[in-house]
Amino acid sequence: MLGTMYSILSPGGNVQSGARIPSLALDQQLHLYRLMCLNRRVDDQMIRLQRQGRLGFYVGSQGEEAAIIGSAFALEPRDWVVPCYRELGAALVKGFPLIDLFSQFFGNSRDLTKGRQMPNHYANHDLRVTSISSPVGSQIPHAIGLALGARLAGNDDVALVYFGDGATSQGDFHVATNFAGVFKTPTILFCRNNQWAISVPVESQTASRNMAVKATAYGIEGVRVDGNDIFAVYDVTSKAVAKARRGEGPTLIEAVTYRRGGHSTSDDPNSYRDDAEVEPWIERDPILRFRLYLTRQGHWDDDKEQALEDEVRATIRNSLDEAFRSGPPSLDTVFEDVYDEMPWHLREQMESVCTPEEFQTVEQGT
Amino acid sequence: MGIKGPTTEQLLDMYAAMWRIRLFEEQAEYQSGQGKVLGALHTYIGQEAVGVGICAHLTDADYITSTHRGHGHCISKGADVRRMMAELFGRVTGYCKGKGGSMHIADFAVGMLGANGIVAGGFGLATGAGLAAQVRESGQVAVCFFGDGAVNRGPFHENINLGAVWRLPVVYVCENNQYAQWTPQEEITLVTDVASMSSAYGIPGAQVDGMDVLSVYQAAGEAVDRARRGEGPTLLECKTYRFHGHNFGDPQQYRTKEEISDWSGQHDPIQGLGDHLQREGVLTAEEAESIRNSVQEEIAGAVRFADESPYPGPEELTRDVFSTPVA
Residue A357 pLDDT: 63
Please state the rounded mean pLDDT for residues B65-88.
98
B241 pLDDT more than 50: yes
Contacts of A219 in chain B (CB under 8 A): 189-191
At residue B3 the predicted structure's pLDDT band, cuts being 50, 70 and 90, is confident
B223 pLDDT more than 70: yes
Q: Across the interface, do B191 and A213 touch by the CB < 8 Å criterion?
A: no
Q: Across the interface, do A216 and B197 touch by the CB < 8 Å criterion?
A: yes
Residue pairs spanning A and B at CB distance below 8 A: 76
Q: Give the residue from A133, A104, A244 showing the smallest Cα distance to A181.
A: A244
Task: List chain A pLDDT tens, one digit each, 366 residues.
Answer: 578 999 999 999 999 999 999 999 999 999 999 999 999 999 999 999 999 999 999 999 999 999 999 999 999 999 999 999 999 999 999 999 999 999 999 999 999 999 999 999 999 999 999 999 999 999 999 999 999 999 999 999 999 999 999 999 999 999 999 999 999 999 999 999 999 999 999 999 999 999 999 999 999 999 999 999 999 999 999 999 999 999 999 999 999 999 999 999 999 999 999 999 999 999 999 999 999 999 999 999 999 999 999 999 999 999 999 999 999 998 888 888 889 999 999 888 888 887 666 555 444 444
Residue A3 pLDDT: 80
Comparing CB atoms, the residue among A174, A209, A220 nearest residue B154 is A174
Residue B29 pLDDT: 98
Continuous H helices in B173-268: 213-228, 257-266
Q: Across the interface, do B157 and A169 touch by the CB < 8 Å criterion?
A: yes
Q: Which of B191, B193, B226 to mutate to test the interface with A (most CBs of A within 10 A)?
A: B191
Q: Across the interface, do B161 and A169 touch by the CB < 8 Å criterion?
A: yes
Contact with chain A for residue B162, Cβ under 8 A: yes
Please state the rounded mean pLDDT for residues B207-231.
98
Continuous H helices in chain A: 26-51, 65-72, 88-93, 98-106, 139-152, 171-183, 202-205, 230-245, 275-283, 286-296, 302-325, 344-353, 356-364
Q: Which of B148, B161, B201 to mutate to test the interface with A (most CBs of A within 10 A)?
A: B161
Contacts of A214 in chain B (CB under 8 A): 200
Residue A358 pLDDT: 57
Buried b (16+ CB within 10 A) or exposed e, A288-325: ebbbbbbeeeeebeeeeeeebeeebeeebeebbeebee
Chain A nearest-CA distance from B53, in A, is 27
At residue B34 the predicted structure's pLDDT band, cuts being 50, 70 and 90, is very high
| CATH for B8-311, options being 3.40.190.10, 3.40.50.970, 3.30.540.10, 3.20.20.150 | 3.40.50.970
Residue A365 pLDDT: 45
Residue B323 pLDDT: 85
Contacts of B167 in chain A (CB under 8 A): 207
Q: Which of A246, A272, A313, A325 is catalytic?
A: A272
A299 is catalytic: no
Q: What angle do CA A43, A45, A51 make, to 5 degrees?
A: 100
Q: Give the residue from B241, B265, B311 showing the smallest Cα distance to B87.
A: B311
Residue A366 pLDDT: 40
A33 is catalytic: no
Please state the rounded mean pLDDT for residues B228-246.
98
In this predicted complex, what is the ipTM?
0.90
B278 CB burial (10 A radius; 0-12, 13-18, 19+): middle
At residue B321 the predicted structure's pLDDT band, cuts being 50, 70 and 90, is confident
Map residue A316 onto helix, strand or coil.
helix
Please state the rounded mean pLDDT for residues B10-32.
98
Q: Give the residue from B29, B77, B25 showing the smallest Cα distance to B50.
A: B77
Give the residue extent of every domain in chain B: 8-311
A343 CB burial (10 A radius; 0-12, 13-18, 19+): exposed
A291 is catalytic: no
Q: Give the residue from B50, B94, B39 showing the smallest Cα distance to B72.
A: B50
Q: Which of B153, B157, B172 to mutate to test the interface with A (most CBs of A within 10 A)?
A: B157
Residue A363 pLDDT: 45
**By percentage, how much of chain B surpasses pLDDT 70?**
99
Question: Would residue A59 be called left, alpha or beta, if left means φ above 0 and alpha means ψ between -120 and 50 degrees?
Answer: beta
Q: Going from the N-terminus, what domains does chain A have, and what CATH number goes with each?
A: 26-329 (3.40.50.970), 331-366 (no CATH)
Chain B nearest-CA distance from A125, in A, is 29
**Contact (Cβ atoms closer than 8 angstroms) between residue A319 and residue A356:** no
Q: Across the interface, do A206 and B202 touch by the CB < 8 Å criterion?
A: yes
**Contact (Cβ atoms closer than 8 angstroms) between residue B108 and residue B74:** no
**Chain B residue with the nearest C-alpha to that of A220:** B190
How many Å apart are CA B246 and CA B132, to the nearest integer?
33
> What residues have CB less than 8 Å from A228, skipping those under 6 apart?
A11, A63, A66, A67, A256, A257, A258, A284, A285, A286, A289
Please state the rounded mean pLDDT for residues B204-214.
98
Chain B nearest-CA distance from A97, in A, is 37
Chain B nearest-CA distance from A33, in A, is 35
Express each pLDDT in B121-145 by its tens digit. Answer: 999 999 999 999 999 999 999 999 9
